[in-house]
Amino acid sequence: MSDTRVPRRRRYLVCEPRHFAVQYAINPWMRPDAPVDVDLAQAQWQALISTYRAHGHTVDIVQPAPGLPDMVFAANSAVVVDGRVFGSLFHAPERRPESTHYDTWFKTAGYDVYRPESVCEGEGDLVWTGRYVLAGTGFRTTREAHREVQEFFGHPVISLTLVDPRFYHLDTALFVLDDDNISYYPEAFSPGSREVLGRLYPDAVLATREDALAFGLNSVSDGSNVFIAPQAEALASALADRGYVPVPVDLSEFRKAGGGIKCCTQEIR
């Protein structure tokens, strides 16, 4: 069935984990007393970049800044739709300086950058589906930011409420497979949000609790290939049954900071 899925070449923005560490706790996954293996993190990140390029995707790299250990999580820096960049305003003071470095990269690359007035954490909570923006709230990005996003892009924004602090960003509980479908973990959402997702995506690929906790939903799809945590075995099998091609990439070291494949990947559209 995989030949029925057509991959699209993508452009990704990433940041080397040169200064990656867990120095504070701003989500349930983070434990400053648990050491990070920086060499392993580097090797896993390099493997992700090599895998993207091997599948025909373009990868741009932002230089990391000392003192910003979470800057590797490029997805939180912005959301880009049709060449328009909606920047970030982080909830945690520790991460707010990251925005300046990413804004500088986008501006140097020729983009105008909109700076939000409300707390907004980029693709962490704003997922472009090709028709509208699925927008998470509950722990980080605010509903006020959702309104800003709609005014800026002129596309409908559908607010979804996250209820489990382990899935503090939308991209830990949901990802887009292609123009028509998504995969998500229902229990990460409020009852009303589950109903909305069920109506919008009746054929969605649903993840188990185990796969969600393995960061299986912090995945990246090019419409055919799904770059996914190898620990999310049931989800990978379900995706293969639907004609997608799971491409395992282990970013387990980044889970110590509550991150994974998608967290490390900003898509430039």
List of residues 6+ apart from 152 with CB closer than 8 A:
84, 86, 114
Q: How far apart are CA 28 and CA 9, in angstroms?
A: 34
- 122, 168 Cβ separation under 8 angstroms: no
Catalytic residue among 57, 91, 146, 169: 169
- 101, 65 Cβ separation under 8 angstroms: yes
Q: Name the strands in the sheet holding 266-267, side by side, starting at the edge strand that comes first in the sequence.
A: 58-62, 11-15, 266-267
Catalytic residue among 15, 120, 146, 263: 263
Q: How far apart are CA 45 and CA 93, in angstroms?
A: 25
- 77, 105 Cβ separation under 8 angstroms: no
Residues 14-30 as b/e (b if ≥16 CB within 10 A, e otherwise) read bbbbbbbebeeebbebb
- 6, 223 Cβ separation under 8 angstroms: yes
Is 263 a catalytic site residue?
A: yes
CB-side neighbour CA atoms (13 Å) of 176: 20
Q: Which residues are catalytic, by number?
A: 169, 263
